[in-house]
Amino acid sequence: MTGDTLEKKKKIIKTIHIDADKCNGCRACEVICSAFHAVPKYSSNNPARSRIRVIRDPLRDVYVPVYAGEYTPAECAGRDKYTIDGKEYDECTFCRASCPSRDIFKEPDSGLPLKCDMCESDPPLSEPMCVKWCITDALTYEEREEEAEAEVEAEDIETGLESMADKYGLQKIMDTIARMSQKD
Ligand code: SF4
Ligand code: SF4
């Protein structure tokens, strides 16, 4: 089978669009995220356990919703400052990392890092809970389909190799590949 004739597999890309200008700092998103992820579900709420945090500075009218991203074991060595529409923000404002330099995005009891999982659940939700609870539309959700040809190609190669290994034995396949690569 060639790359041209591969059946293209679809994958869903999930995006939450953040319009910080619409955020009023109500923190409903933090409350519902922590309640949704409580065990049992909805048994408690604690914004410190939320996977979205709103960086707030009401005196300067600054409200920036930020989603928890990857864990990082070390903090950055430098700091940048951003000025947007006359308001100053430091670099950590927009950072999604669960990092040693600050308290957010860490489970308060265990200290374990938190990461947004887009409210993965079974059955799946039509949209993430924080989006549903954001009445100002500062958070909006969209899904789009993308073709994942490379993954399909890798899977096809694996399946083909498995069936050849079943038929001829793995060692024979490896010897043949080694011979072929010497010819190149
Ligand atoms: S629910 Fe919406 S408006 Fe309220 S803090 Fe969160 S993002 Fe901002
Ligand atoms: S998408 Fe779900 S897990 Fe992620 S921050 Fe929103 S409520 Fe929390």
The residue among 47, 25, 26, 27 whose CA lies nearest residue 36 is 47
Buried b (16+ CB within 10 A) or exposed e, 94-126: ebbbbbeeeebbbeeeeeebbebebbeeeeeee
Mutate which of 119, 131, 132, 134 for ligand 2 pocket (most atoms within 8 A of beta carbon): 119
* In the predicted structure, residue 160 carries a pLDDT above the cut 80: no
Mean pLDDT value of segment 107-111: 93
Read off the amino acid at residue 84. Answer: I
List pLDDT tens digits, range 30-87: 999 999 999 999 999 999 999 999 999 999 999 999 999 999 999 998 788 999 999 9
The residue among 45, 49, 23 whose CA lies nearest residue 134 is 23
List pLDDT tens digits, range 7-17: 667 888 999 99
CB-ligand 1 contact for 128 (6 Å cutoff): no
CB-ligand 1 contact for 136 (6 Å cutoff): yes
Q: Taking CA 118 as the corner, what is the angle to CA 21 and CA 9, rounded to the nearest 5 degrees? A: 115
Stretch among 70-84, 136-150, 163-177 having the lowest mean pLDDT: 163-177
CB-ligand 1 contact for 62 (6 Å cutoff): no
Distance from the first to the final alpha carbon of the chain = 22
* In the predicted structure, residue 3 carries a pLDDT above the cut 60: no
Model confidence, pTM = 0.77
Dihedral, 147, 150, 154, 159 alpha carbons, nearest 10: 30
- CA gap 66, 175 in Å, rounded: 52
CA of 54 to the centre of ligand 1 (A): 7
